[in-house]
Each structure stands twice: as structure tokens, then as C-alpha cells.
Chain A
Amino acid sequence: MKISEYIKKVQNKEIDIVSYTKEVLEKIKKLNEEYDCLIEISEELALKQAEKISKDPKGKLAGVFVSVKDSICVKDVNSTGGSRILEGYKPPFNATAVQNCVDEGAIIIGKTSQDEFGFGAFSVNVGVEYKIPKNPIDKTRATGGSSGGAACITALADFPHISLGESTGGSIVNPGSFCGVLALCPTYGRVSRYGLIDYGNSLDKVGPIGKTAEDVAIGMETIASYDKKDSTSIDKEIPNYLEKLNSNINGMKIGLIKESLDSGTDKNVKDVFNKQIEFLKSKGAVVEEVSLKKAIDYGIAAYYVIGTSEASTNLAKYCGMRYGKEDELKGTFNEYFTNVRSKYLGDEAKRRIMLGTFTRTSGYRDAYYIKAMKIRTLIIDEYKKAFEKFDVLISPTTPMIAPRFDEIEKMTPLQHYMADVLTVGPNLAGLPHINIPIETETMPVGFMVTGNHFD
């Protein structure tokens, strides 16, 4: 059943939403035992919301099940950003994106697993003693990251469902590509970041993940809003995403990012991707190559300097006081603070805090942090120039299919970072981008479309 048909049935009280919610919760529990895609199942909240909808079945998302990345706050439900250091934190408020869903009749089913604070491309950098989610198609492979649990549960769900993910450098489209689902990262500022546990404030975006284009469109229409509580939120008219779904692409000018098909991209990914280009051409689109050399060649370095710099300042507030994990108050402030951070932050969080501390240190700041921010300008200019000629830009989403866990174990941190090579560009430039899954006989391949700001 299409999600729009389901919503209509709920609104017309043709579905017993309370018993259906119970059924869905049982399904989720079973799936989670097998795939570890959720950190927490919010059973009590879901049933309470279902009761409410059964009496007053209103809203754009009436009765739709919504899972939320752990780094997005849900009122009174553990929200830890996938980190042990925030264990026990139950926010006294909803993130704006979550509140928008609740106001439109959604049922919140739980918090999805992720790399700690979003620090990863495979969801293997989970917090201390958290579980690693497994790929829904092949359990020996990674889900992608950092919104790995979100893409995983979306692929597995056989009920009307949307997941709220979050991207800093590719964390929405990357797991979308590895798990074979649609995943949309909107323009920076389109969706409020209020209630999002920050990774990099100038990079973070909340976006919807779904099985179909319709799921993603309805999700986007619900969460997009101007929000006074987020000073970077942008007050611009929100288009009717659903109406635009079946637009004709005849005559559309598509720029194929030349460098994305260089030697760094696996041959099997290129072959599957190229077949889709033929399909677009057959529908009347005009496909031409475009070079985005700066974005592809320098994006990773610029992104990791900026991202770790921002992350290291954001994570400074986690000190075992006020909320989250606490120890017995012993020693001086610095000793206590250092001890809590050392015990409850994982390896990748420590690495990124150290990298970001280094790049902002007096004497190195100009060479790394300031330099990266200037290169970001050049990358934005490169995209803007491309959009003078093209309506959209395309490339594979990731240079490989979902890797196996034993392959990931052999990779160095820098090799992990390289998985983001095709996604850091639009993230640095704040451009909207979507993963469209291409099914194959084995693992799915991701097809990424990048648009201009607010397109």
C-alpha cells in the first residue's frame, strides 16, 4: 500500500491503529534482535501516540511510524547521539523536526543506531559497548554511516515508515546507498537543527529516509520549516514536494561529475551507474560531463579539517556534569572532567577531538582551519558555476558497495574517511542531494543527484 493510501485509511478510521501499532512494535523487536538497528524502542510513547490518533486521526503523517536517529532529541526518550557519555539523557523537549512529525500524527517508534556523534561512514564507530548495526541485505556487511540504523530499519520495514537521519559529510545518502533506500539530505537551513546533538554546526542537516520517493516527499514536507529556535534556519517558501514527484525530465540538463568515475571508484559501481545514464538519456535528458576537481580532490581534506574543528568544540561540553553519564565527584574539576571523557568516549570520538583541537591550535590554525574555510569557498564557487549550465549533477553516491566487516577492520582511519569522497562536496556547500538506490543481483549501488540550494 502506498503511504498516502495508508494515511487516508488512518484518517478515515479504517485501521485499528492501536492494535496495528502493537503488531509493528513486536515486528521491530524481532528485527532489532537480528540487525541491531535501534538503540531504543520507544514502546510506551508509541502506544500513547497511537491511542491519541485513534481518537483524533488527523495530520499529514497520521499513523505513520517514524524512527529517529539517536542524535535527534525525542522528549523523555534516551537520546545519546550514540555515545556512552550521554547515557541516561532524556531530553525535556522534542527536536523541531520530531515535533513537526508528532504534530502531524506520526508515531515515534525508537532511536536508530549510528556512529558515535556521527563520526563514521560505516556505523562501526559506535559508542563504548553499543552494538553495530548489520546490513539488511547481507549481515556480514556494514549498513554505512553515520545514519546506519536509520537506513537499515527503513529497508527492513514492511509497514508505513519514515526515518529521520542526519548528515554532516554524507551520513544520510551513504547508508541509503549501502542499504538500498531513498535518502534525502536537504539544503542547509531548510530543516531546523534545534534539538539535534551537534557534530559540526555549519554542516549538520536533518533529512528523511524512506523506501519510496513518496515516503521521502511526505517526510520532507513535514520536517521542513523555518524555526526561530535555530538562527541558521532559513525563512523561504516550502514547495509542495509531492506535486513535483512525477515531473518530466525531457530536456533536463544533467551534469555528470567526471572525477566521480575515476580510478577511485569500483568498476562494478561504475558499470551499474552508467546503465542508469542510458535510461535518463532515453527519457530525453541531456547528459554532459562536468569537472568538479576541487570538490573531489580537496573536499575530504577540507571537510575533515572543518568537521573535526567544529566537533572538538561541540564535544567540550560533555564533562560528566548537568546531564548524561556521571561519576562520583572526585578530584579537581579538570581531573574529573578528563576522567569522564577518557572513560566514556570511543576511539573515533577521541581521534576527531584531537584532530580538531590540533587544527585550531595557535600556530596551526591559519594553515589548517582558516585554509580549509577558504577552500570551502572555492568548492562552493565550483558548484555554483556548474549550476549555471546544469539543472542537476549526478555521480555514484559511494565509490564502493557496502564493505564486509572483515574488510573494514583492515582499514586505517584515513581509508574510512575516503568513503566520503563523493559526498563531502555537497555537504561542504550545503547543497541538497539524494541517494536513489539501484537494485542489482547482489548489493545495491547508490545513484546520487545533487541540486542547487533550495531546488
Chain B
Amino acid sequence: MDVDEKLVKDIAKTARLNLTDEEVKKFTPQLKEVISYFEKLDEIDTENVKMSIQPVEVRNVLRDDVVEESYSNELALSQTKHKKDGYFKGPSAL
């Protein structure tokens, strides 16, 4: 896998991170070293092996669809200064 500055910038953009030129220079060889190391996984044959999404078997947990007491609107909004008319206020979408 060819990990270069262009790839690092592309990944950063997808991950919603702005990197400075200095950060791109620092991270590129570091990520290259790690991703090359990941390629070690190719040494193992995994044909017909199932994935383990969890380490132990967990079952689907469902509950009845009934209305329960939850946090109040006021409490949910208590952690932010950006709010208006009982809603979270965000930056413009476009």
C-alpha cells in the first residue's frame, strides 16, 4: 500500500480534520509504518472463517415499545450555549 501525502490529506478530509502542512509531513511516515504493519494480516488464510464482531456471543436485546420518562428538554440542552426555542442551534448546513 502506497501511503503518501495525497492519501493522508484525502483521509483527513473524509475524517473531517484539517491538517497543517507540518502535520501532514509528520503523520505521513507514521501512518505509512502502521499501515504497512497491518499488511502482516495477509499472511493468514481466512477462507471460510467467520467474523467476530463481539468477543462473546451477545443476543439481540429488544424492549416493548412503550413511552418512558426520559431527560427533559431543559436538561438535554443544559450542556450547550448554542440553543434556540428549545432546540440545539448549529451552523448553517450549506
Contacts and interface: CB of A to CB of B under 8 A. Distances in A.
Interface of A: 88-90, 92, 187-189, 202-203, 228, 231-232, 234, 294, 297-298, 300-302, 304-305, 312, 316, 319, 321-324, 326, 329-339, 341-342, 345, 347, 350-351, 353-355, 357-359, 361, 367-368, 370-378, 380, 412-414, 417, 428-431, 453
Given A304-B38, A338-B17, A234 B56 contact: yes
B66 interface: no
B40 A361 contact: no
A62 to B, nearest CB: 30
Interface residues of B, number: 52
Contacts of A429: 55
Main secondary structure of the interface of A (DSSP, over half): helix
> Which 7 residue pairs of A and B lie closest in terms of their CB atoms, listed nearest first?
A430-B55, A323-B79, A373-B51, A374-B46, A336-B91, A231-B61, A342-B18
A367 B35 CA distance: 11
Interface string B65-94: 000000100010011111000001111111
B30 A351 contact: yes
Contacts of B82: 321, 326, 329
10 contacts: A187-B56, A202-B53, A228-B63, A298-B44, A329-B82, A335-B91, A345-B17, A353-B17, A375-B41, A376-B51
B50 interface: yes
Contacts of A431: 55
B56 A373 contact: no
Contact of B92 (A234, A332, A351): A332
Interface of B: 7-8, 11-12, 14-19, 23, 26-27, 30-31, 33-35, 37-38, 40-44, 46, 49-56, 58, 60-61, 63, 71, 75, 78-82, 88-94
Contacts of B26: 347
A413 B30 contact: yes
A375 B92 CA distance: 43
A374 B80 contact: no
Given A92-B75, A336-B91, A368-B41, A322 B80 contact: yes
Given A334-B16, A367-B42, 11 more contacts: A202-B55, A301-B37, A305-B38, A337-B16, A341-B17, A342-B19, A350-B23, A351-B34, A355-B31, A374-B51, A375-B41
A336 B54 CA distance: 35
A413 B15 contact: no
Contact of B51 (A90, A345, A355, A377): A377
B56 A453 contact: yes
Contact of A354 (B27, B51, B60, B88): B27
Contact of A350 (B17, B63, B88): B17
A453 to B, nearest CB: 6
B46 A326 contact: no
